[in-house]
Amino acid sequence: MNDNLTPNQAAENLPVISARQVLKNFKGLEVLRGVDMTVAQGEVACLIGPSGSGKSTFLRCVNHLEKIDGGALYVDGEMVGYRRVGNKLFELKDAEVAAKRARIGMVFQRFNLFGHMTAIQNVAEAPMQVKGESREQAMAHARELLTRVGLSHRLDAYPNQLSGGQQQRVAIARALAMKPRLMLFDEPTSALDPELVGEVLDVMRDLASEGMTMLIVTHEMSFAREVASKVAFMDQGVIVESASPQELFEQPRHLRTREFLSKVI
């Protein structure tokens, strides 16, 4: 794979995410044991599997919140966290990692909003601080995004004045404010009361319909079946199988996949 492609060339010719035999250890515990996965531009890929199977860790590696211990991981044709010079790899400096990470939006289980800022301020902050947008420009875009996620009436509300579902929608708008090429979702509805899950999934459905490239760790099987273009079942640090939703949910090839689905569907 050519590590020196420009972002435009990578976008045209390569998967947005390409993982090959990715390894990750925590204090001797193998969490990722050789993950292979590709996500094409405009694809919605869902990662499903039991808790502790490595799904969230893999997602964090894509954003270089965790460093991989082996294998290769590329986003837009560029190696995540490293630069290859000849036969040697050099770790990127923090500023370089941050610049690349700015192209990736990430939504966590917990909303991680700034409690002292209103919804619109939460959304506008990163474009001003990271991208140097003017306050007027950033606030106007933030208003558009909050309207897009159904919160035009809550622009000036603080996080503690919002429901969990509303906070998560602010978090999605905040990620979109950086105009990412890729959105990562780490079980975005797991911290919500059941009646609030739908409003967050509706926003994600809209993003999928607009062609946003997404990698989603989820326990919402009906959502994965409906929205994903590809579903990957992960267990014990490896992707056991990956297929279209129809194939994986209706005709899973592996016994372990069938066992898991029999318990969650």
**Tokens standing for residue 149:** 């996620």
> Is 74 within 8 Å of 7 (Cβ atoms)?
no
Q: How far apart are CA 143 and CA 7, in angstroms?
A: 29
Average confidence (pLDDT) over 45-57: 97
Q: How far apart are CA 121 and CA 114, in angstroms?
A: 9
**Tokens standing for residue 140:** 């106007």
Average confidence (pLDDT) over 106-114: 92
DSSP assigned state of 247: H
Average confidence (pLDDT) over 169-179: 97
Average pLDDT, the chain: 92
Average confidence (pLDDT) over 82-90: 83
The helix/strand/coil state of 117 is: coil
pLDDT at 91: 86
Note the pLDDT tens digit of each residue in 175-209: 999 999 999 999 999 989 999 999 999 999 999 99
> Is 11 within 8 Å of 76 (Cβ atoms)?
yes
**Dihedral (CA of 33, 16, 232, 166) sign:** positive
Note the pLDDT tens digit of each residue in 9-36: 444 568 999 999 999 999 889 999 999 9
Q: How far apart are CA 254 and CA 246, in angstroms?
A: 15
Report if pTM > 0.85.
yes
> Is 179 within 8 Å of 141 (Cβ atoms)?
no
CA distances in angstroms from 208 to 95, 147, 224, listed in the order given: 30, 17, 11
Three-state secondary structure readout of 175-210: HHCCCCCEEEEECCCCCCCHHHHHHHHHHHHHHHHC
**Tokens standing for residue 67:** 């460093």
pLDDT band at 154 (very low <50, low <70, confident <90, very high): very high
The helix/strand/coil state of 84 is: strand
Residue 214 CB neighbour total at 10 angstroms = 25
